[in-house]
Amino acid sequence: MATPLNITFLGTGTSSGVPMIGCNCEVCSSTDAKDNRLRSSILIQSSHTTVVIDTTPDFRYQMLRINNKKLDAVVFTHSHKDHIAGLDDIRAYNYFQQKDMEVYANTLTAEHLKRDFYYAFAEHKYPGVPKINLHIINDEPFVINDIPFQPITVWHLKMKVFGYRIGNFTYITDANRIDEAEKEKVKGSEMLVLNALRKEKHISHFTLDEAIALADELQIPNVYLTHISHQLGKHKEVNKVLPSNIQLAYDGLTITTLI
């Protein structure tokens, strides 16, 4: 029997967020709430399990904004600061749930977590530091309670980043290239979330046109674009010119799929 899965976009912005500090462009000055983008992350919920993919610098506020009271696990895509910096704030869940947080990361990301949050991994821990049960993952599928994860390796310039397929849903952020074998893991998805930084070429992110072309190649029926910079343009104006099966995601958007 298929299980419903709710996916909430906690943030859909690039590393600087939107509005960007010090910027007076029309996007950063927009009064449309959909042009306000925290750093990119999603919350995945089944009837039994709640998982966050990436803990951004905005993690605390993202959890408060949706009044999230329960968190079973954190899954990381990669080690860049805009995707890991908020991990310290799992302390609140440690306290109220009275258990360690299950954290899933590849070897490189785990090394960075141990470096940046060294106090959480110390032999003799100071009271109140985050309590983490760290799982090292590779390209093999894994399951968190009732939610299955299939890692998908994508390229962020020369850095390997994990996207994830969860049932009929695939989440890919911080990529500018995907090898053919990994594309096969995406094919057949009903929903795809894909990064689209801006219109101009970028060294390590898909542009808007590149993301559209990839979605078309993979023939995904429903595509949501994320990890968006202020350079892409206003949400409402960009959405108007996108293909009918593609739209910009926005903070707070919730979509539903099945696993």
**Residue 2: predicted pLDDT:** 79
Residue 96, Cα to own-chain centre: how many angstroms?
A: 25
Q: Do 50 and 72 touch, CB atoms closer than 8 A?
A: yes
Q: Please count the structural domains in the chain.
A: 1
Q: For position 252, which CATH number holds? A: 3.60.15.10
The 10s digit of each residue's pLDDT in 170-195 is: 999 999 999 999 999 999 999 999 99
Range of the domain at 48: 4-258
The 10s digit of each residue's pLDDT in 95-105 is: 999 999 999 99
> CA angle, corner 31, sides to 42 and 17, nearest 5?
40
**Encoded tokens for 119:** 């106090």
**Residue 100: predicted pLDDT:** 98
**Residue 259: predicted pLDDT:** 86
| Local structure of residue 18 (DSSP, 8 states) | B
Strand 159-166 to 50-53 pairing: unpaired
The 10s digit of each residue's pLDDT in 42-101 is: 999 999 999 999 999 999 999 999 999 999 999 999 999 999 999 999 999 999 999 999
pTM of the model: 0.97
Gyration radius of the chain's alpha carbons? 18
